[in-house]
């Protein structure tokens, strides 16, 4: 992962597809997630911090050592080494600073909790779809199963507009919104169907996660508590999250 891509992500300069791909990679690479959060939080604490400045200073220090070497092979080795060393050192600085800030302020990174717990629900009713099955509901389900969540959002949006009372479509529309980094829209959808007995725990689970992603810890705790008090598939995860959130504050923007 290049620093340039990280900088563009933090500056909100990525397209929706690029941002989605980047966040998926962060979910699968905890070190990348820690490094990105470290850069972001360090920049908030110290306005003089920049990735470019840190890299430049590291390169200058290593270049000074390189200039002292006379043997070509050693120079080649050091030229390679300086970039690897700079990348590692920048990551270590960011990671260490991030941990220090969180410990000092008694805060918790709710985004890391979200990333480790959010997983799109497996679509129920394993329907075998033929080539001629072109109904909107089948097409939406197909896009969702193929993890084309941007496409699924467009299809489910139309389905929900046409039939607002269809609980399944509302739920999978909301999950697709969350998978495309639109938690506030997902909250709007899910909060309207919390009384439904159909998909009851799924609705509350994803609503809790959507609030968590939006850094609304108070409402997130309410719905995690609803899940934690009854026997269901999400109960253990909900209890573990509640323990992490207990008495903590969200990291501020």
The structure's pTM equals 0.58
Tens digit of each residue's pLDDT (9 = 90 or more) over 208-249: 999 999 999 999 999 999 999 999 999 999 999 999 888 665
- The domain defined by 115-250 carries CATH number 1.25.40.10: yes
Question: Is the pLDDT reported for residue 93 higher than 70?
Answer: no
Question: Is the pLDDT reported for residue 252 higher than 60?
Answer: no
Tens digit of each residue's pLDDT (9 = 90 or more) over 140-190: 999 999 999 999 999 999 999 999 999 999 999 999 999 999 999 999 999
The residue ranges of every structural domain in the chain are: 3-105, 115-250
Nearby residues of 192 by Cβ (< 8 Å), 6 or more positions away = 170
Q: Cα(188)–Cα(210) distance, rounded to whole angstroms? A: 10
Mean pLDDT value across the chain: 77
Contact (CB, 8 A) for 220 and 206: no
Task: Return the residue matching tokens 């938690």.
Answer: 183
Q: φ and ψ at 195, to 5 degrees?
A: -85, -5
């Amino acid at each position: 992962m290049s620093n340039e891509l990280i900088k563009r992500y933090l500056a909100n300069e990525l397209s929706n597809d690029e941002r989605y791909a980047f966040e998926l990679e962060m979910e699968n690479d905890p070190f990348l997630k820690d490094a990105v959060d470290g850069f972001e939080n360090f920049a908030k604490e110290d306005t003089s911090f920049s990735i470019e400045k840190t890299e430049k200073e590291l390169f200058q220090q290593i270049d000074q050592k390189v200039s002292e070497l006379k043997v070509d092979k050693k120079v080649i080795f050091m030229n390679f080494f300086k970039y690897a060393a700079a990348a590692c050192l920048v990551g270590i600085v960011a990671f260490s600073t991030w941990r220090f800030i969180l410990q000092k302020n008694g805060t918790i990174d709710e985004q890391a909790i979200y990333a480790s717990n959010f997983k799109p629900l497996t679509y129920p009713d394993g329907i075998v779809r033929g080539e001629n099955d072109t109904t909107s509901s089948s097409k939406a389900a197909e896009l969702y199963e193929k993890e084309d969540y941007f496409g699924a959002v467009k299809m489910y949006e139309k389905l929900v507009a046409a039939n607002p009372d269809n609980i399944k479509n509302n739920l999978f529309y909301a999950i697709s919104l969350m998978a495309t980094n639109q938690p506030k829209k997902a909250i709007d959808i899910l909060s309207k169907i919390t009384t439904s007995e159909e998909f009851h725990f799924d609705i509350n689970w994803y609503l809790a996660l959507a609030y968590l992603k939006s850094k609304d810890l108070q409402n997130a705790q309410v719905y995690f508590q609803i899940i934690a008090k009854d026997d269901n598939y999400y109960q253990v995860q909900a209890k573990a999250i509640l323990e992490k959130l207990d008495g903590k504050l969200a990291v501020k923007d």
